[in-house]
Amino acid sequence: MEFLYAIINFLILCAILFVFGRKAAAKIFSDRLERVKRGLDEAERAEGEAESDADLPKIPASFSDALPESVLCETAAIRSRAEEEAERIRNRTEDTVTSLRREMLADARDRLIDAVCEKAAAMMAGEPYRSAIRAKEEQFADEIVRRMEITPGDIAYLKRHDVLYVTLTSAEPLPQSIVDRIGERALAMLEEVGGKPSYWVREDPELIGGFRFRVGDTVYDFTIKDRLYQLRRELENMPLTGREDAEALVRQAAEAVSSMTYGMSEFQLGRVLSVFDGICWMDGLADIMYGEVVEFENGERGMVLDIEADRIGCIIYGNYAKIESGTRVRRVGRIASVPVGEAMLGRVVDPLGRALDGGGRIFTDERRPIECAAPSIPDRAAVSRPLHTGIRAIDALVPIGRGQRELIIGDRQTGKTSIIVDTILNQKGTGTICIYVAIGQKDSAVMEIRDRLRQYGAMEYTTIVCAPASASASFQYIAPFAGAAMGEYFMYRGQDVLIVYDDLSKHAVAYREISLLLGRPSGREAYPGDIFYLHARLLERAAQLSPENGGGSMTALPVIETQAGDISAYIPTNVISITDGQIFLDSDLFNEGQRPAVNVGLSVSRVGSAAQTKLMKQVSSRLRMDLAQYRELAGFTQFGADVDAATRRVLESGRRMMAALKQKRYAPLPDWLQALVIFAVSEGLAADVDPGDMEAWSSLLAARMAEKYPELLNLLKLGGKLSPEEREVLKRAAADCGSAMKDEAA
């Protein structure tokens, strides 16, 4: 570790010397060079006194005055970029050092917490703490007698079992007066509700000190064991900035121990009935709520997903093999939540927000529940701002607006994930936060996406929530809800968010597995009846908020995998009815080489042109109709029938338009460039271009426009509607470019 610190310090020193010392070094070398030049000049004058330099050109007094303006500007730009790069390197180095420090401090704090709790347990088991606790037993007994009650859950339990267990457990034998006083009050309460007398007194040295009283599933705890549990949670939840030293950590732990009191903890305790396949059945915990977190004795946690009359079903987050029947389970007292915030960006995390990318722990103090109510209708605004994917076939035909829910649907291996990756890449520089939720995918596929996003600089604004195929059905079930919670944090702060669920088909399968294990009846195609509500409440959380609520947005792109193109199956039909449109990827088009393989006839956006710029709306207004006409005529003429000249022109134009809609992966295009190519092709300005050369022709057209018509190009970048005069100018410019390129090719 000392060697690592030495390397980091050396890199920091190099960066500082580069940033602050280069000017001094340059001055030293320039002074020395000047002295050498003066010496050479004097030697030349001594040797060539007979030669005259009257005819030689004079060097300007200020050499920079003689340089062209472009050279000076370029030099200044290079210097500015160098300083920015140095600043970026310095900031990155500082961030790396801070991250390493926080990671090391977190590990050190974990070891310190174990040592502190062990030392505190040994200390409190002896004198004078033992005597101090014994002296408070009467006070604790009075508190229990005062607060003891039979809850509605206990009464419901009595109606089914006739007996309610009441136990008093202590670390050491209690005075008989305390035992009798608590027992008399408990038996009187049981008699009031018609319960049979049941009162047991036990001893358990593991409690270390104090005693615990339990009525049904409610526990009143005055033990040292519970105090140590609370101490550990307090120490683990202390914020860690990375600027602390060892003394500060020890001081925090000492202050927490010194401030520890012997108060009472009141909580509910249940019992594990059975565990299998990540599902746990429990009894007790009568007042628990759906979605609440429970904690098992071994530290694993779960989430309540089913509440029946005599038992509670929950999914287990971690390794369920370590949980046994008969062990106790504790109610934590909060709804399942995940960490959120800026610290999550650039990371690959599991559905609980824990790092999976080897980048160290994620430090954030903010959390959001994974399930929460969607924005109400008055809190929403109309979808009117485009979210550009950078893909011509989508932005022109099925545009997506910020706050929209657009389904991406198609068979396996038809390019669904490629569209997602290109869309995320196209958000660079727009301020849009991206959340990619991978459900049931291969680990290698998720890592490939991560590497691709990192290669193009998109991981800086992206979080990947990964519940791969190797993860449990529980993790795959909560993954999209966890991703939605992470996105909502930014949406309610007024930012734009793009969230992708890849894919909800596997999410439905995971939920079906959980539901069948919980004993719920299967419905259509063996999916539970509430699968529609499950996806509805997930996708409804995507919205465009009104300006009064911050104006943020969250755009959802769920992915559904079909079988043999069947979009009428149960899950595809459900999600289609929930979303605002779908982008259908056709296997036949994909196999024909049309990438992306967007089927224009089955793809639709219910937001439509409201999510397009005025320029794109103007140039693509006829595009869908022209392509539909082409596809129909192509179907009639595929058997080689003779066609007239008009039909041949439609077919040729359609082939060029289909070629213009082809696009390479990882190459999203700006909206103005898409509109330029669509305009040129739809106006017949590419009639002489072979469909196979359309990609190269599009690139040359953009380059020639930038060279010859920069003002017109700037007008296109504004995205406004073109006037008739501007359209004519654009036609002439595109035709001129086409002719010039044709001449170059010749």
3-state secondary structure of 715: helix
Give the whole-angstrom CA distance, residue 436 versus residue 8. Answer: 33
| Both structure tokens of 377 | 């209708």
Stretch (H or E) spanning 279: strand 279-284
| Both structure tokens of 152 | 């509605």
Q: In sequence order, which residues have a C-beta less than 8 Å from that of residue 64 and are 6 or more positions away?
A: 72
Is the Cβ–Cβ distance between 205 and 70 less than 8 Å? Answer: no
| Both structure tokens of 631 | 């596809």
| Both structure tokens of 628 | 């539909």
- DSSP per-residue string spanning 463-518: EEEEE-TTS-HHHHHHHHHHHHHHHHHHHTTT-EEEEEEETHHHHHHHHHHHHHHT
Choosing from 271, 606, 624, 727, which is the catalytic residue?
Answer: 606
Stretch (H or E) spanning 218: strand 218-221
Which burial class, exposed, middle or buried, applies to 539 when counting CB atoms under 10 A from its CB (0-12, 13-18, 19+)? Answer: buried
Give the whole-angstrom CA distance, residue 199 versus residue 186. Answer: 8
Stretch (H or E) spanning 302: strand 301-307
CA dihedral 4, 6, 8, 10 (to 10 degrees): -150
Q: What CA–CA distances, in Å, run from 660 to 79, 655, 694?
A: 41, 9, 6
Length of the chain equals 746
| Both structure tokens of 511 | 């939920």
Q: Which residue, 402, 403, 378, is CA-closest to 539?
A: 403
For residue 366, the one-letter residue type is E
Please, which residues bridge with residue 409 across strands?
560, 584
Is the Cβ–Cβ distance between 573 and 404 less than 8 Å? Answer: no
| Both structure tokens of 379 | 């809190």
Give the whole-angstrom CA distance, residue 147 versus residue 100. Answer: 48
Is the Cβ–Cβ distance between 115 and 376 less than 8 Å? Answer: no
Task: Give the β-pairing of 265-276 and 328-335.
Answer: antiparallel
Residue 429 Rama label (left phi>0; alpha psi -120 to 50; beta)? left
Stretch (H or E) spanning 605: strand 604-605
Would you call 606 a catalytic residue per the annotation? yes
Catalytic positions, please?
A: 606
